[in-house]
């Protein structure tokens, strides 16, 4: 149990605030007279009133929900427990998923406590399977808050603000560095796929370069060879299926290649300029594109087999998150046509803009794995690790813009289909130069990732430092006590006395001065 300094007292939030109030149920509007504060408007840690929408109703109909200077609003869903001190909003009301508290102690002290670990520990729901706590006015009102004398509350707030201001300056510098690092990545990838990264290499390795005609011939040779091998393997699989009694549908035959349409002038205008030794080919001409299997528990199967599969969440931009792999049952005979091969390139169908076309390469981390129908796979005709990495780096950078333009957009979803993916233009150069590009990219991007990890660690330390400051603040260790201050017990007695007066008609509770 926390030992409080002399003149401090432990109280409930309901003891040091007016009766909490739920917000107004209505909808937002693009314009109006009164701002309409919602849960989503306070999740970033502060309120940017420029982005807050307007209330659909006229101000006179929502007077009881109007926010005043010093009000503290707490979300009861989503960003549960988050607090925000409202500083002189022009004209604003708050939504039903917010709960308003009007502190009868220093409102900044009250709001600062609601960011502390002690507060979060009291509202968190530790029941199994509950990831986000849910709070209501009753639960919030019962939260215990240490109350120092009023003058000490103000000294604590002043000290917290000064220390947090220094931390914020450091965090701002770190966030600027992170943004700069992102721009560096983009610039570096742009340089790679415009051929500038290997300009000197081409001068020093003229004997390894191939003409555009030879590159086209190479791509055609790789494609024909891959299809011959794939057809032979499929024929063997079919024979095995027949020998086993032809259970389930016939194994999928490799898709026959269809010549792609030439790139249009409009497409070429959107693509970067490449060296004269390079060419553009569509993904369809350098890889076989496959789709996955939808998840269905009601599917009737003749010869079921349970297999692991990749979801959109597993396929991130530039890496795979394999911490959680789910399984589904499919026909045994279809496992061959759906199975992932080493160095396949994965592309997400979408779902929303940040997931559109993102992906990375498969290195057979999970045996016998397939993909869900929302994840496409491209099997390059040249079976080579660095070639697959080259394609994926391109898809995650320049290809992202292509998918943005080719994706179908609904209200909240964006997606690409197999036809759009097949048409993706990809730069094609000699294998030796392509391998050199990936080598340099790996080296530079690895250094960028290490720097990003350092930035993340520093940001985590900043968060930990804030919590350490708050812990000291609410245990009486941040500022010295003044024996001459009015004890907190006397402050609470005056609040109780004011409460008693509010029971009379026309009286309004006032915070102690």
Non-local (6+) Cβ contacts of 203 within 8 A are: none
Q: Kindly report the CA angle at 209 between 207 and 212, in degrees rounded to 5?
A: 140
Q: Angle, nearest 10°, between helix axes 385-396 and 398-406?
A: 60
Q: What is the pLDDT of residues 446-489, one digit of tens each?
A: 999 999 999 999 999 999 999 999 999 999 999 999 999 999 99
Q: What is the pLDDT of residues 83-103, one digit of tens each?
A: 666 665 668 889 888 999 999
Can you give the pTM of this predicted structure? 0.76
Q: What is the pLDDT of residues 296-352, one digit of tens each?
A: 888 889 999 999 999 999 999 999 999 999 999 999 999 999 999 999 999 999 877
Look at the block and give the residue holding tokens 């003891």.
15
Pick from 4-8, 43-47, 187-191, 270-274: least confident: 43-47
Q: What is the pLDDT of residues 103-125, one digit of tens each?
A: 999 999 999 999 899 998 888 76
Q: What is the pLDDT of residues 423-443, one digit of tens each?
A: 999 999 999 999 999 999 999
Q: CA 279 from chain center: how many Å? A: 35
Q: What is the pLDDT of residues 32-71, one digit of tens each?
A: 888 898 888 876 556 777 888 998 877 677 788 888 888 8
- Please give the Cα distance from 158 to 155 (Å, whole number): 5
Specify the pLDDT at position 128. 42
Of the candidates 432, 353, 421, the one whose C-alpha atom is nearest the C-alpha of residue 392 is 421
How does the average pLDDT of the chain come out, rounded? Answer: 89
Residues comprising the chain, all counted? 513
Q: Kindly report the CA angle at 111 between 106 and 117, in degrees rounded to 5?
A: 125
- The 10 Å Cβ neighbour count of residue 116 is 19
């Amino acid at each position: 149990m926390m030992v409080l300094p002399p003149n401090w007292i432990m109280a409930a939030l309901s003891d040091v605030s007016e009766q909490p109030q739920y917000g107004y149920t209505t909808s937002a509007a693009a314009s109006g007279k009164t701002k309409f504060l919602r849960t989503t408007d306070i999740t970033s840690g502060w309120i940017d009133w420029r982005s807050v929408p307007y209330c659909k109703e006229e101000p006179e109909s929502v007077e009881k929900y109007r926010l005043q200077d010093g009000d503290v609003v707490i979300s009861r869903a989503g960003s549960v427990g988050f607090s925000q001190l409202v500083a002189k909003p022009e004209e604003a009301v708050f939504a039903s998923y917010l709960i308003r508290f009007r502190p009868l102690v220093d409102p900044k002290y009250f709001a600062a406590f609601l960011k502390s670990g002690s507060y979060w520990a009291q509202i968190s729901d530790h029941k199994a399977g509950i990831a986000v706590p849910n709070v209501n006015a009753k639960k919030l009102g019962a939260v215990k808050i240490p109350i120092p004398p009023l003058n000490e509350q103000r000294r604590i707030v002043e000290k917290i603000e000064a220390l947090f201001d220094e931390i914020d300056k450091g965090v701002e510098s770190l966030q600027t560095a992170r943004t700069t690092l992102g721009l560096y990545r983009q610039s570096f990838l742009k340089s790679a796929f415009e051929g500038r990264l290997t300009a000197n290499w081409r001068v020093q390795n003229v004997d390894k370069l191939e003409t555009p005609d030879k590159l086209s011939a190479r791509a055609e040779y790789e494609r024909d060879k891959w299809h011959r091998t794939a057809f032979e393997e499929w024929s063997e699989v079919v024979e095995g299926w027949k020998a086993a009694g032809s259970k389930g549908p016939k194994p999928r035959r490799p898709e026959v290649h269809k010549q792609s349409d030439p790139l249009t002038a409009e497409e070429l205008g959107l693509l970067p300029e490449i060296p004269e030794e390079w060419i553009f080919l569509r993904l369809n001409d350098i890889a076989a594109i496959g789709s996955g299997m939808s998840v269905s528990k009601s599917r009737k199967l003749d010869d079921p087999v349970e297999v692991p599969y990749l979801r959109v969440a597993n396929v991130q931009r530039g890496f795979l998150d394999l911490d959680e792999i789910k399984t589904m049952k499919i026909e045994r005979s279809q496992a061959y046509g759906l199975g992932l091969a080493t160095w396949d390139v994965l592309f997400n169908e979408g779902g929303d803009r940040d997931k559109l076309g993102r992906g990375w390469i498969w290195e057979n981390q999970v045996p016998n794995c397939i993909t869900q129908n929302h994840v496409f796979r491209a099997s390059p005709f040249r079976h080579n690790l660095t070639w697959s990495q080259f394609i994926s780096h391109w898809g995650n950078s320049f290809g992202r813009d292509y998918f943005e333009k080719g994706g179908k957009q609904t209200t909240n979803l964006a997606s690409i289909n197999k036809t759009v993916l097949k048409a993706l233009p990809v730069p094609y150069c000699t294998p030796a130069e392509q391998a050199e590009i990936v080598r340099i990219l790996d080296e530079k991007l690895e250094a960028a990732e290490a720097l990003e990890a350092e930035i993340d660690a520093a940001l985590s330390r900043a968060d930990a430092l804030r919590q350490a400051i708050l812990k000291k603040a609410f245990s009486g260790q941040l500022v010295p006590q003044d024996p001459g201050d009015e004890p907190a017990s006397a402050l609470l007695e005056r609040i109780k006395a004011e409460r008693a007066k509010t029971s009379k008609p026309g009286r309004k509770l006032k915070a102690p001065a």
